[in-house]
Amino acid sequence: MPSKPVLTPSSSRVSTWLDPPTKFSMFRTTSELPATADLAIIGSGFSGASVAYHTLRAYPALSIVMLEASDVCEGASGRNGGHLRPDFYTYASQITAKYGPEEALLLSKFERDNFEAVKRLIKEDGVDCETVEDGESWQVFLTQEEFDEALRELTMMRDLGGDVHDIQVYMRDEAIAVTGIQGCFGAIVSPGSPISPTKLVSHLIEQSLVRGLNLQSHTKVLSVTLNNCSDATPYSSDNCAASHSELDEFENVDMNSLRIVPKNLSYLHKITTSRGTLLANKVVHATNAYVDMLLSISSNVRDTTKSPYDAVFVTPVRGHALEIAPVGMRRTLSLDPSHNITNMDFNRGGEYLIQRPNGNFVMGGGRRFGKGKGIESFNNKTTAETEIDGSVDHYLRFFFPQILCFDNSRYLSPPKTIFGESDTNEAHSADYRIVKQWTGIMGFSTDEYPLVGKIPSFLDQGQEYCIAGFAGHGMPRIFLAAKALVRMILLEDDEYKYDCQYHSTGAPMPGRYFEGIIEVAENVNMPQCFAITEERMTKMINLAKMKE
Ligand SMILES: Cc1cc2nc3c(=O)[nH]c(=O)nc-3n(C[C@H](O)[C@H](O)[C@H](O)COP(=O)(O)OP(=O)(O)OC[C@H]3O[C@@H](n4cnc5c(N)ncnc54)[C@H](O)[C@@H]3O)c2cc1C
């Protein structure tokens, strides 16, 4: 199998969430890369960390190596806008049209469940990650058309039987009174919270390290190929593809250490990294925007010389964010003390902001004003990701003072530079101080929905899995999507299924499988539109080929 090119992950300006660096900055569990692993996880963002966390809680004996090209959580997860905001209704008509009403309900419930699961984890483990227990997330509508559309979606979700009990609608006057945003036409309010993504991810990683995770940061994966049988070490086998037999399924359990020796002795995958080679039985691609670069198929289906901007599975898209300290502008998001507004978003989610405990605002968006609407070239390995796009920057500096100043009337028209004329922005800069400004690369799957599941066998003869493509909305989806993936990895696979059973009962019980005994066996009910299927992947490949 040919080796594949790799897009260099972003090293753009430091975000609020990475300053100070996480406690796992420059961290390596062992100075040398381990030779083998039962499971290799590529990527240490919220996806990779959640996969490690769920797997090791269910199955601590598994040897897991996490490979990260940069520092821990230095991708999108460490550079985002800090919203933990489940969406309960916005996609009602779109999902219903594509997949039917049951799926629309499932997605809404999944985001609610995910939100609750993350909150539960934070509460039970006492994670200090800047969340707010009873936060209000405000969607503020700056045109009547958008407000009407949102109301239609909300009504549809309610009519379908979705749980919208805690969603409130504010008509124009009321919304202006609470937010002080003179130009708004209405608002829809739902539960949500700000979050420091790096603090949450660091917690998941810490918990996984305690359970034996081997973390290797600054280790870039260059290729994942099928392993040649003869490379297999240290558990050599006469027959590389030895068939699984129920009679001897526990012969490889080391009773003293409870270390499970993998049944498949061959180590199916050879992972070539910047620091050497790792052999692994299974591989999880949690590389977000960079998934296309490593999946076995990508080098065969996408001709980068013909279409450098066209992804097969996931398109890298640059987002901008900044943290500002209020100077002349208001110091809280709500003018009405009975409201605890923590998150806001505008323009169909195109712009968004949160308020941090220190009173500063983290805000982002404006992508539609950027070069190529933020879509990154797969061939561009260097500068594009490290630069701030001037048009986006200019727009954000105009937009947020407009929203946050008491005297909104000063900002009623957009700055002229957006339309090509000069405007120094001086009037705005008196109202805030920029504390930080950064970019991050999101991963947009080519059919809009995240990709979670096993890579189909027509693309990969081994055991490769993927969790990626959460675009700008990963925080309310990833934690439980990862749990669903771990369930697939462990329980839909004969090798681990029996081993899990052993761990959960303490005794080998050949032929019986106790669903629900171990935590991961609990069914997560992930929306079908997230699931990787042969049909979905084929469609994506065909679409990419048509564009070439
Ligand atoms: C500016 C911005 C604002 C956002 N705002 C929000 C928000 O407010 N709310 C929200 O819900 N979502 C938001 N998102 C989206 C959210 O951050 C992502 O959906 C989520 O973080 C994705 O997590 P991940 O772990 O899948 O990917 P990432 O966090 O990107 O992790 C992927 C990791 O893989 C590593 N990697 C890549 N290639 C290799 C390789 N070859 N070898 C080894 N390692 C590799 C990368 O270095 C990276 O650490 C935002 C994103 C951006 C960029």
Question: For residue 321, what is the domain's CATH number?
Answer: 3.30.9.10
**Which residue puts its alpha carbon closest to atom 37 of ligand 1?**
287
What is the per-residue pLDDT for 526? 93
Would you say the CB of residue 46 lies under 6 angstroms from ligand 1? yes
Give, in order, the Cα–Cα distances in Å from 430 to each of 102, 325, 327, 427, 437.
Answer: 51, 11, 7, 6, 17
For ligand 1, atom 31, the nearest C-alpha belongs to: 45
Could you tell me the distance, in angstroms and rounded to a whole number, from the CA of residue 64 to the centre of ligand 1?
21
What number of residues does the chain have? 548
- Does one domain contain both 143 and 238? no
The pLDDT value recorded for residue 249 is: 35
Of 464, 461, 373, the closest CA to residue 1 belongs to 461
Same domain membership, residue 542 and residue 459:
yes
| CA–CA gap between residue 189 and residue 312 (Å, rounded) | 36
Boundary (domain end) residue, out of 399, 424, 443: 443
Does the beta carbon of 9 sit less than 6 angstroms from any atom of ligand 1?
yes
Q: Mean pLDDT, the chain, as a whole number?
A: 81
Share of the chain above pLDDT 90, in %: 55
Q: How much distance in Å is there from the Cα of 171 to the middle of ligand 1?
A: 35
To test the ligand 1 pocket, which listed residue (14, 72, 79, 80) has its Cβ within 8 A of the most ligand atoms? 80
Q: Which of 381, 416, 443 is the last residue in one of the domains?
A: 443
pLDDT tens per residue across span 20-62: 999 999 999 999 999 999 999 999 999 999 999 998 887 777 8
Q: Counting atoms of ligand 1 from 1, which one is nearest the CA of 321?
A: 1
Residue 300 has pLDDT above 90, yes or no: no
86 domain residue, yes or no: no
Residue range(s) defining the domain that contains residue 498:
33-79+199-312+447-547
pLDDT at 303 (0 to 100): 63
Question: Residue 119 above 50 pLDDT?
Answer: yes
Q: pTM for the complete prediction?
A: 0.88
Same domain, 495 and 528: yes
Mean pLDDT of 311-339: 87
Torsion of CA 98, 45, 291, 228, to 10 degrees: -130
From the alpha carbon of 72, which atom of ligand 1 is closest?
A: 49
Asked if residue 299 lies in contact with residue 2, where contact means CB atoms within 8 angstroms, the answer is: yes
What is the percent of the chain with per-residue pLDDT over 70, rounded to a whole number? 75
Q: Are 184 and 172 in contact (CB under 8 A)?
A: yes
Q: Tell me, yes or no, whether 515 and 531 share the same domain.
A: yes
pLDDT score recorded for residue 6: 38
- Which numbered atom of ligand 1 lies nearest the CA of 78? 29
Are 325 and 436 members of one domain?
yes
Query: Which residue owns the Cα nearest ligand 1 atom 53?
Result: 440
Q: How far is the CA of 329 from the centre of ligand 1 (A)?
A: 31
Residues 305 and 348 in one domain: no
Domain at 63, CATH number: 3.50.50.60
Which atom in ligand 1 lies closest to the alpha carbon of residue 352? 8
Which of 443, 464, 494 represents a domain boundary (last residue)?
443
The verdict on the CB of residue 180 being under 6 Å from ligand 1 is: no
Residue 218 CA to ligand 1 center (angstroms) comes to 16
83 ligand 1 Cβ < 6 A: yes
